[in-house]
């Protein structure tokens, strides 16, 4: 990175694949001023039918460039092409979901004559755009995350400035350009790749009405603490996703789910399977079954059709994962597969049995291809360990007993508990959020659109 451009590389072979111009503060300052004026002057607001037409056209353009978008995701982000295609499908569905959710973004009638004081009046609410939005995104879903942040802003009539992850700006740029091609005036959505100091100045500017952040907890909480008075926000951070396995679980169905949930995008997912709690007498066999399947996953360049696990986002992440695994092994963890770098940019899918409970792989988000299996004495012990960390996002339980499933749903500290499915399951209309240190607010397209609007009430004296 220099003062003018950001070079983008394929994270597997580190070869340059493109570049984007960095935006300086004077430019962003002018964009924020324009966005503020767009919102303040109601005559400037885009009517809903126009916003719907733009989003419909954008979805059509995305469908027409499906393969190009999937290759871009794989090429810049390292997500295997087979999974990148799924992301494009979700992103197109997400744009269309923005249109559908507009029909649910309604006000309500407020009864006034419940007491004599309100008698003779009628009241109702409407929803209107909150104002300028700044979206800061992550690298791991470089198209779909942008859709989740920018699509709701466009749908609700909020001008938006979007800063993509520095590793993956090209998918964001493609989406923004398709919005323009679909008829969105450029002042309503600005592509704003910039240095971190400029990004912080943009986020904390008092003209920002809503801040959408997807990324590390350390950065997100720090930025939240610096927001201007009145700026609303939503933060989506990571977790250390727990899975509880009951002694009657269907192992044949469970193993593929755990492998997919743990090694999808090489574990670079905020709800990736990381901690698997199993009855003590089953732990070794289950861990070995996961390892047997994980060891067969093909690691390579994500742009190749048969790659199942791509690289990590940069070489420093490979070194970090290596250090964390080595720490766990030194503390007594048993390596059942992997446990080593595969060159500068990739790490082998790794299964660890009984790492120390205070090791980094047990207490922090690995964000790499590492699944840890722990033997537990009882279901109560497993639930206690699952709830032992200051982060809480999605969790899972595998069981054929309704009583066990419902107990885990009730007692696991998580925003969602998957029964007989992995922790990384998601559809784009469901609420998606972290508790405590894992986030603030609720994601999911409809929920984000609600956050990007505000309620106004009219009280009419008859």
Which residues are catalytically annotated?
A: 236, 270
The per-residue pLDDT for range 44-85, each reduced to its tens digit, is 999 999 999 999 999 999 999 999 999 999 999 999 999 999
Task: Read off the pLDDT band of 3 (50, 70, 90).
Answer: low
Per-residue pLDDT, 182: 98
All domains of the chain, ordered by start, with CATH? Answer: 5-237+438-461 (3.40.605.10), 242-428 (3.40.309.10)
CA 11/CA 308 separation, integer angstroms: 15
Q: How far apart are the first and last CA of the chain?
A: 64
Query: How many CB atoms sit inside 10 A of residue 81's CB?
Result: 20
* Average pLDDT of the residues of the chain: 94
Q: Which of 240, 244, 250 is nearest to 283 (CA)?
A: 244
Residue 254 makes CB contacts below 8 A (sequence gap 6+) with 245, 398, 420
User: Phi/psi at 322 (nearest 5 deg)?
Assistant: -60, -45
Task: Read off the pLDDT band of 268 (50, 70, 90).
Answer: very high
Asked if 271 and 394 touch (Cβ cutoff 8 Å), the reply is yes
Give the total residue count for the chain. 462
Which pTM value belongs to this model?
0.91
Task: Read off the pLDDT band of 1 (50, 70, 90).
Answer: very low
Cα 324 to its chain centre, rounded Å, is 23
Q: Which of 277, 230, 270, 308 is nearest to 386 (CA)?
A: 277
CA 203/CA 131 separation, integer angstroms: 14
The per-residue pLDDT for range 121-141, each reduced to its tens digit, is 999 999 999 999 999 999 999
Per-residue pLDDT, 2: 45
Winning range, highest mean pLDDT, from 105-119, 160-174, 429-443 = 160-174
């Amino acid at each position: 990175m220099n003062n003018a451009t950001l070079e983008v590389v394929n994270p597997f072979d580190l070869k340059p694949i493109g570049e984007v111009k960095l935006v300086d503060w004077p430019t962003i300052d002018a964009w924020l001023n324009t966005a503020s004026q767009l919102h303040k002057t109601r005559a400037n607001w885009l009517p809903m039918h126009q916003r719907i037409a733009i989003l419909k056209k954008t979805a059509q353009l995305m469908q027409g460039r499906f393969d190009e978008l999937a290759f871009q995701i794989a090429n810049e982000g390292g997500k295997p092409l087979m999974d990148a295609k799924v992301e494009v499908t979700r992103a197109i569905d997400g744009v269309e979901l923005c249109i559908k959710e507009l029909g649910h973004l309604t006000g309500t009638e407020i009864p006034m004559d419940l007491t004599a004081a309100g008698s003779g009046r009628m009241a109702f609410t409407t929803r209107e755009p909150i104002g300028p939005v700044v979206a800061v995104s992550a690298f791991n879903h470089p198209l779909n995350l942008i859709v989740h942040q920018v699509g709701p802003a466009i749908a609700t009539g909020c001008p938006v400035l979007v800063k993509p992850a520095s590793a993956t700006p090209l998918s964001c740029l493609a989406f923004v350009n398709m919005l323009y091609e679909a008829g969105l005036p450029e002042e309503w959505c600005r592509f704003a790749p910039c240095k971190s100091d400029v990004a912080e100045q943009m986020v904390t500017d008092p003209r920002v009405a809503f801040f959408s952040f997807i990324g590390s907890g350390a950065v997100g909480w720090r930025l939240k603490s610096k927001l201007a008075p009145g700026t609303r926000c939503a933060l989506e951070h990571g977790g250390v996703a727990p899975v509880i396995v009951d002694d009657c679980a269907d192992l044949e169905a469970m193993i593929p789910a755990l492998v997919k949930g743990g090694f999808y995008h090489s574990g670079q997912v905020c709800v990736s399977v990381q901690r698997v709690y199993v009855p003590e007498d089953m732990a070794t066999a289950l861990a070995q079954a996961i390892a047997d399947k994980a060891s067969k996953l093909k690691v390579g360049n994500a742009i190749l059709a048969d790659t199942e696990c791509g690289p990590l986002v940069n070489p420093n992440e490979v070194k970090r994962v290596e250090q964390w695994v080595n720490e766990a092994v030194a503390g007594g963890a048993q390596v059942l597969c992997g446990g080593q770098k595969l060159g500068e940019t990739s790490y082998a899918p790794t299964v660890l049995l009984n790492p120390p409970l205070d090791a980094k792989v047990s207490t922090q988000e690995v964000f790499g291809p590492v699944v840890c299996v722990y033997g537990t004495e009882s279901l109560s012990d497993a639930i206690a360990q699952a709830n032992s960390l200051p982060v809480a996002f999605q969790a899972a339980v595998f069981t054929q007993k309704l009583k066990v499933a419902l107990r885990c749903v009730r007692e696991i500290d998580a925003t969602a508990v998957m029964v007989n499915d992995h922790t990384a399951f998601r559809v784009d209309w469901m609420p998606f959020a972290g508790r405590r240190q894992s986030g603030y607010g609720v994601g999911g397209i409809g929920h984000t659109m609600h956050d990007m609007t505000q309620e106004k009430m009219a009280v009419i004296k008859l």
